[in-house]
A and B are shown apart, each in its own frame.
Chain A
């Protein structure tokens, strides 16, 4: 075997290896063959029936190019015929764009969203987690986020959508980014499927049908537009894309206004039956005669509490001192029945607390005591008495919080006589 033959064998082996390992790319081939040629593939005439009749090729045929016709357009629609209208994606609709809806069925603020959270997936339910966006964010609604759902209008599952959001205050147009925030620019990454935008898509094969699907996202089902500003009216519209050159026009617009992050609080004074009482300032609790047995004021301090702050609120209490101007009845955390210091005492004890929705209210153990005459101390340093937070399954926002607090005091025989007064102040703050 001579040199040339050996070289040929080596080359053949090498080429053979390259063919096996290299990916095969097939480029588009010419429509011409030895048997036919297709030139400017259009069909004229009234028949739009095309029979390609071959397994070797396929073509896109155009059923003529009509001239301009004003009947094809109106103020609310336009009909496109001819190439390339036939390949455009269907114009989608905004099914819902909400910040402060509730579930008052048939009411003006009824939710149109159909999101399903992980724990409450109910077919056809007309709620988000039970009570519209107020069920997510608390009364009166969301201040920094919103929920959008898209009606695909028969576009395929893999259709991509771009969401445009305009700030009504500044008239700035933003686009929903792939991380659910807003930006004035966008690129192909920001075109997303319904599954990616909403974390839920009931269509078979979407990858978002049930909670066991990989792309199911119960957070996006609650809110999927982030970093909004409070008190601003936003207007959204959506367009669809399903392959090159197929982008649809924008949908009709839908608007929603974000709420403000708010604290809701009120004091009422009434006895233990005052669950729904409304009283006016000035608020005063009459302790009556403070004796050497524990005295509990007949009236309670009733507190209404609510917030839509995402991380909840903290209610602190402080006082000036229970004093007759000269002498003070001390306030320490203790069982007044025992009165270890034998110097009398004064403080607060939580009686009841409840809420209508979200939360729950968390009562501080300092004041939520066990013993009938156990009280928490009051001082000029604020102490937390009630709060909400987001630890575990807790939710910061709360609706319809209502609590009652008892005021107790006790004197000793050495307590100087006099008219003892105090000013108790409750301070409500949102949690950052």
Chain B
């Protein structure tokens, strides 16, 4: 009996210990443990859009991290940084509807891990002609001691050109034959120069080419687009030089040769042309040769005429002298 009671006491004590441990066990919440797993990233596109008023944008927020990404949308204005060939934020604009039409429910949200969200927006223009962008801001930042936050800019480059802008864009096509006399080209070698300049306050996207033609006949083509992949910043100039050598026969080269530059600036087409009238040197030589032959034959002919006239005069003089002598003899 004593043993039973003793064992019961031990059991009760053990039970109480177990019960106490269950009741008073401290829960250690998971702390912010900085692990060593590979990093994920947030991806936002498009980074840059070239648009006109009314054009749509498909903003994509892609979350490749293991954690939800909470965001809000706003807008910012930007200024061109001509020195660094970049942009600089000027001002934050909370009301994104000043520049973009976006559904109310898309202005705030969360993108789950390994997921993406597509937000439809429409660009409604920028009255002040400054650059604008949609700002995607991470909203979970708090200023506890030093808080750190992330923002992405989906920049819009406005492609609209005003009438004044169009007058401030020049291409300066110039063609210099290698041998030009009194406005006539005598050679078959041409130096073509094209000089684009942007005197507007906007970024310009330009593509173009130069075509050389003789009437309807195509002679050569020079592409510039691959050298114009970067937009032209305000105040920028871009120069192109080509050498065109016309290897046709001199007779085919005689006449007008036309140099046509076609280019597109912010989606609008332009065309300029330059004509050169060619008188090939071979024709000059040929004409000169014929002229010399003509002159020489005229000289020879005139000299023969002179000799004939002289001999005729002499003959007449002799006849006169003879008749005078005959008259004298008759009188005598």
Contact = CB atoms under 8 A, between A and B. Distances in A.
Interface of A: 6, 10, 13-14, 17-18, 21-23, 143, 177-181, 187-189, 219-220, 226-227, 230-231, 260-271, 274, 276-287, 297, 301, 304, 306-307, 309-311, 313-314, 316, 320, 322, 382, 384, 387, 389-391, 402, 407, 419-432
Contact of B48 (A21, A181, A227, A430): A430
Contacts of A407: 146
A316 B89 contact: yes
Contacts of B301: 6
Contacts of A421: 143-147
B149 A424 contact: yes
Given A23-B251, A390-B230, A266 B149 contact: no
A428 B152 contact: yes
B226 A219 contact: yes
Contacts of A382: 88-89
A277 B141 contact: no
Contact of B290 (A14, A264, A279): A14
Contact of A429 (B43, B70, B155): B155
A426 B151 contact: yes
A314 B84 contact: yes
Contacts of A143: 46
B140 interface: yes
B286 A21 contact: yes
Contacts of B135: 427
A18 B39 CA distance: 82
A428 B231 CA distance: 20
Given A189-B218, A425-B151, A263 B43 contact: yes
Given A14-B290, A277-B35, A189 B221 contact: yes
Given A21-B282, A181-B225, A281-B70, A301 B47 contact: no
Interface of B: 32, 34-48, 58, 60, 62, 65-67, 69-70, 78, 81, 84-89, 133, 135, 138, 140-153, 155, 157, 203, 207-209, 211, 218, 221, 223-226, 229-231, 249, 251, 282, 285-286, 289-290, 293, 297, 301
A327 to B, nearest CB: 16
A49 B208 CA distance: 52
Contact of A431 (B62, B66, B87): B87
Contacts of B39: 266, 268, 276-278, 304, 402
Contacts of B35: 277-279
A35 B155 CA distance: 81
A304 B65 CA distance: 12
A426 B150 CA distance: 5
B282 A226 contact: no
A230 B59 CA distance: 12
Contacts of A268: 34, 39
Contacts of B48: 261, 309, 430, 432
B86 A431 contact: yes
26 contacts: A10-B297, A13-B293, A17-B290, A220-B226, A227-B207, A230-B46, A231-B58, A263-B44, A265-B44, A266-B150, A267-B150, A274-B34, A277-B39, A278-B66, A282-B140, A282-B141, A284-B144, A297-B146, A309-B47, A314-B87, A322-B146, A421-B143, A425-B141, A426-B149, A428-B151, A429-B47
B173 to A, nearest CB: 16
A262 B46 contact: yes
Contacts of B87: 314, 429, 431-432
A261 B46 contact: yes
A181 B228 CA distance: 11
Contacts of A179: 207-209, 221, 223-226
Contacts of B148: 267, 269, 283-285, 301, 423-426
Contacts of A178: 209, 221, 223
A278 B65 contact: yes
B41 A189 contact: no
Contacts of B62: 262
Contact of A265 (B140, B145, B150): B150
B226 A17 contact: no
Nearest to A231: B58
A354 to B, nearest CB: 13
Given A180-B225, A230-B45, 6 more contacts: A143-B46, A231-B58, A309-B47, A425-B149, A428-B152, A432-B231
B149 A262 contact: no
A408 to B, nearest CB: 11
A126 to B, nearest CB: 25
Nearest to B248: A23
A284 B46 CA distance: 29
A226 B153 contact: no
Contacts of A277: 34-37, 39
Nearest to B58: A231
Interchain residue pairs A-B with the least CB separation, the first 7: A179-B223, A430-B47, A260-B45, A262-B45, A281-B140, A280-B67, A283-B148
Among A178, A220, A283, which residue has the most Cβ atoms of chain B within 10 A? Answer: A283
Nearest to B78: A429
A387 B147 contact: no
A265 B153 contact: no
A10 B293 contact: yes
A342 to B, nearest CB: 23
Contacts of A430: 47-48, 153, 155
A283 B45 contact: no
Contacts of B84: 314, 384, 387, 389
Contacts of B147: 282-285, 421-424
Nearest to A431: B86
Given A22-B251, A425-B149, A432 B218 contact: no
A214 B246 CA distance: 18
Contacts of B58: 231
Contact of A226 (B81, B86, B143, B226): B226
Nearest to B149: A425
A108 B16 CA distance: 63
A310 B150 contact: no
A387 B150 contact: no
Contacts of B138: 281
Contacts of A320: 143
B126 to A, nearest CB: 15
A263 B155 CA distance: 11
Contact of B143 (A230, A260, A280, A423): A423
A266 to B, nearest CB: 4
Nearest to A402: B39
